[in-house]
């Protein structure tokens, strides 16, 4: 057996050595431990006291002899104590939501401005602040994003943040322009978010670009046509209220994503989208739909819908047939 195998239960190496000694030599005394283990009297007494506290040893009061608790009973008791301690720690952590308020206070008070406005410079700083705001969002994220497509890098960066917010119960309302749906990867990503609970609407055209977090902080670019020029971040001000009012106006005039045809479906396909390629690879390498869905980070229903769409596109009679046709086309 390895050294200090009981450390997972909070038992030190010296305490484990003492316990093992009493397993081999039940009925000995603390003085015997000192002599046999070549340790000091204080160290031996401290180990025994700790093991008694853990109820791994129990002395005979009449003659000071010490006996070990049966290992099966001892380990079961240690497991119960450890689980109880972990449960208490978990409760302590979940009761510490007030820490977020303190962190938010720090976030919203750095670089103070008399009007509650902070200027961000460069894409790196903007992205870092967006990541921070999304991480700390607790209730709602509003956004209008007039991009025409998302790059695979943008999708890979945004997916874990967006899905994390949705899993935590943060409401996401997002307005995009119809042109974005012409890109298959972008359209698939937006529909994936909708499957996870995001509310997405489509507008014909919008020059606005804005983000609002928990109705307390609003981010707008200095130049909507060139986000690299920087952005303004407003905190808890009348400007935030005006930006929210603008968002609500755009939202009311937009159409729900579920009622919009996918323009990409009407265009000829030269090859699969990145999402479709990943599904095809998963179909060939993963046995069960549940495993494939986990690998792609989507729901089982979304994964199966992708598989069905691919089979229809390829004209395949089965999944194996679809994989064969995809290889013939050079898709995988």
Q: CA-to-CA distance for 104 and 165, rounded, in angstroms?
A: 16
CA 189 → CA 46, 53, 198, 316, distances in Å?
61, 56, 11, 24
Longest dimension (CA), the chain: 92
What pLDDT score was predicted for residue 170?
Answer: 93
* Helix, strand or coil, per DSSP, at residue 173: strand
pLDDT tens track of the chain, all 332 residues? 446 678 877 888 888 888 888 888 888 777 767 776 777 778 888 888 888 888 888 877 666 788 888 888 888 888 777 767 766 665 565 455 455 455 555 544 444 454 577 888 888 888 888 888 888 889 999 999 888 888 888 888 888 889 999 998 999 999 998 888 888 889 989 999 999 999 999 988 766 789 999 999 998 888 766 777 888 888 877 788 888 988 898 898 888 998 876 554 444 456 777 778 888 888 877 778 888 888 877 778 888 888 888 887 777 778 888 888 888 778 87
**Strand, coil or helix: what is 236?**
coil
**In the prediction, which pLDDT does 10 show?**
80
pTM beyond 0.85: no
Task: Enumerate long-range contacts of 319-328, CB under 8 Å, 24 or more apart.
Answer: 319/283, 322/280, 322/283, 323/280, 323/283, 323/284, 326/272, 326/280
Q: CA 195: distance to chain centroid?
A: 17
Task: Note the residue count of the chain.
Answer: 332
For 136, other C-beta atoms within 10 Å of its C-beta total 16
- Bridge pairing between strands 117-120 and 231-235: antiparallel
Residue 7 backbone phi and psi in degrees, to 5: -65, -30
Cα→Cα distances 296→10, 126, 224, 263, Å: 39, 28, 32, 24
> What residue ranges in the chain does DSSP mark as E strands?
57-59, 66-68, 117-120, 140-145, 171-177, 199-203, 210-213, 217-221, 231-235, 255-256
Residues whose CB falls within 8 Å of the CB of residue 224, separated by 6 or more in sequence, listed in order: 146, 207, 208, 209
Q: Are 45 and 71 in contact (CB under 8 A)?
A: no
């Amino acid at each position: 057996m390895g050294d200090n195998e009981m450390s997972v239960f909070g038992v030190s190496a010296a305490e484990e050595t003492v316990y093992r000694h009493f397993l081999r030599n039940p009925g000995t005394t603390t003085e015997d431990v000192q002599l046999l283990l070549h340790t000091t009297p204080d160290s031996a007494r401290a180990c025994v006291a700790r093991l008694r506290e853990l109820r791994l040893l129990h002395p005979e009061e009449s003659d000071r002899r010490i006996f070990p608790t049966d290992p099966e009973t001892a380990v079961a008791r240690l497991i119960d104590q450890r689980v109880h301690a972990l449960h208490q720690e978990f409760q302590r952590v979940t009761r510490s939501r007030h820490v977020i308020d303190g962190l938010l206070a720090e976030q919203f008070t750095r670089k103070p401005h008399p009007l509650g406005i902070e200027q961000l410079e460069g894409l790196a700083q903007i992205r870092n602040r967006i990541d921070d705001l999304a991480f700390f969002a607790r209730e709602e994220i509003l956004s209008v994003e007039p991009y025409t497509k998302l790059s695979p890098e943008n999708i890979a960066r945004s997916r874990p943040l967006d899905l994390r917010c949705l899993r935590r119960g943060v409401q996401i309302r997002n307005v995009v322009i119809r042109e974005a749906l012409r890109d298959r990867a972008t359209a698939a990503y937006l529909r994936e978010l909708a499957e996870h609970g995001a509310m997405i609407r489509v507008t014909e055209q919008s020059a606005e670009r804005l983000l609002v977090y928990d109705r307390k902080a609003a981010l707008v670019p200095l130049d909507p046509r060139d986000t690299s020029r920087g952005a303004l971040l407003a905190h808890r001000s009348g400007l935030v209220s005006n930006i929210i009012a603008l968002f609500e106006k755009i939202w009311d005039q937009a159409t729900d994503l579920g009622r919009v045809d996918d323009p990409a479906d009407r265009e000829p396909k030269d090859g699969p989208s990145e999402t479709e390629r990943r599904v095809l690879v998963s179909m060939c390498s993963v046995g069960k739909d549940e495993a494939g869905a986990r690998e792609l980070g989507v729901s089982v229903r979304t994964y199966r819908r992708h598989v069905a769409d691919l089979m229809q596109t390829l004209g395949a009679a089965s999944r194996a047939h679809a994989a064969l046709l995809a290889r013939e086309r050079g898709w995988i």
